[in-house]
Chains A and B, each alone.
Chain A
Amino acid sequence: NAGVMQNPRHLVRRRGQEARLRCSPMKGHSHVYWYRQLPEEGLKFMVYLQKENIIDESGMPKERFSAEFPKEGPSILRIQQVVRGDSAAYFCASSPGSGRETQYFGPGTRLLVL
């Protein structure tokens, strides 16, 4: 049973470019969460999605960041016009439902903005 998959594992972008991070949840999981870990900090919540719905985006920066979880295919976290401060590890987690359900994490995408 494959775990949460994320790709790419490493992504290098120049300032002003776009970054697209993909997340495929565990089989049978319909809830996806994105977290960001800045250097020397803990993980911070960004957005919570179910298929075709954004449930909670309270942790997402208001500009340049967007997320989707389409009916078919992986969840996408998109960062437009990246800046150096976007350099971080981005983790995706999935759970089978809401409530007291454990979230399982993928290996992360490490974004470096030059």
Chain B
Amino acid sequence: DQQVKQNSPSLSVQEGRISILNCDYTNSMFDYFLWYKKYPAEGPTFLISISSIKDKNEDGRFTVFLNKSAKHLSLHIVPSQPGDSAVYFCAATVAGNMLTFGGGTRLMVKP
């Protein structure tokens, strides 16, 4: 049973445009959500997080939106840069215990 899903395995965006990565979850007990970026042969790098009591969190070019009623979160990257090309994972946790990850979305930003 996949509690966190990223339905788009890949996304291609032009440099300078907006990248929108989506994530759906089923467990209503999740209270903290995170996005990680991963390059090949490296560990996941933390990008941004959001608590379930908020609906938006912004950090520079990265904004995460949370829609609890739809059990949906999204990551917006504006403007997209070629260095953003990587695999992006969303993750969720209940009370700070284990992270449950989605399957990842490969983002390709074209110059």
Tally of contact residues, B, Cβ under 8 A? 23
Given known A100-B51, A102-B34, A105-B36, contact A45–B99 (CB-CB < 8 A):
yes
CA distance A104 to B49 in the complex (A): 12
Report which of A6, A42, A45, A99 forms a contact with B104, defined as CB distance below 8 A: A42
User: Inter-chain contact count A-B, CB under 8 Å?
Assistant: 62
Tally of contact residues, A, Cβ under 8 A? 30
Contact B98 A33 (CB under 8 A): yes
Contact A42 B102 (CB under 8 A): yes
A75, chain B: closest CB distance, angstroms: 15
B-contacting residues of A (Cβ < 8 Å)?
A: 4, 6, 33, 35, 41-45, 48, 55-56, 58-59, 91, 93, 95, 97-108, 110
A-contacting residues of B (Cβ < 8 Å)?
A: 31-32, 34, 36, 41-46, 49, 51, 89, 95-104
